[in-house]
Amino acid sequence: MILVARSIVRAATTCGSYHDGHHVHHIRARRALADRDLAVHVLVEIVDGDTVRLSWDGNRFEFHHHDVDAIAQALDLGGDVGEWIPRWRVLVLPGREPDDRTVFTLSDSEHWTDCTSPKLPEHPRSRPVHRSEPRRRRSSAGHRSR
């Protein structure tokens, strides 16, 4: 069986962090999904603009995420029961289809970090070019001169 997991975090243009509570890296998501037998079924509630509450077995824990609106959107699609995989600090929420999942990382208050600016790819012409030997000139016929 193939499980489809995706991240719908929309803060991609303003955050470049893959720390807990930010974007989930595809390797982390894949490993978390492989460890779903360690998951705890949780009730997920949005508390405020960056806080999510997970409840299970009479316990309530609050975590942070930089785009709680994306979590709220996923809850609207698949319901308010998800899977918490503590080893990876990953929350897996169901989608509309049985094998559709949305994956988020969550952070506790102790490890929460602010968003970081995304690293934009550097334009190749903005870097200095260093050559060890001078360029050879081409003759008008297109052959290299020696």
Spatial separation of the C-alpha atoms in residues 10 and 7, rounded to whole Å: 9
pLDDT, tens only, 22-69 = 999 999 999 999 999 999 999 999 999 889 999 999 999 999 999 999
Q: What is the mean pLDDT of residues 131-138?
A: 52
pLDDT, tens only, 93-134 = 998 887 888 999 999 989 988 888 876 555 444 444 444 445
**Contact assessment for residue 23 and residue 106, using Cβ atoms and an 8 Å cutoff:** no
Q: What is the mean pLDDT of residues 67-74?
A: 92
Spatial separation of the C-alpha atoms in residues 43 and 55, rounded to whole Å: 5
Contacts of 88 (CB under 8 A, 6+ apart): 28, 31, 32, 35, 105
- Start-to-end CA distance of the chain, whole Å, equals 63
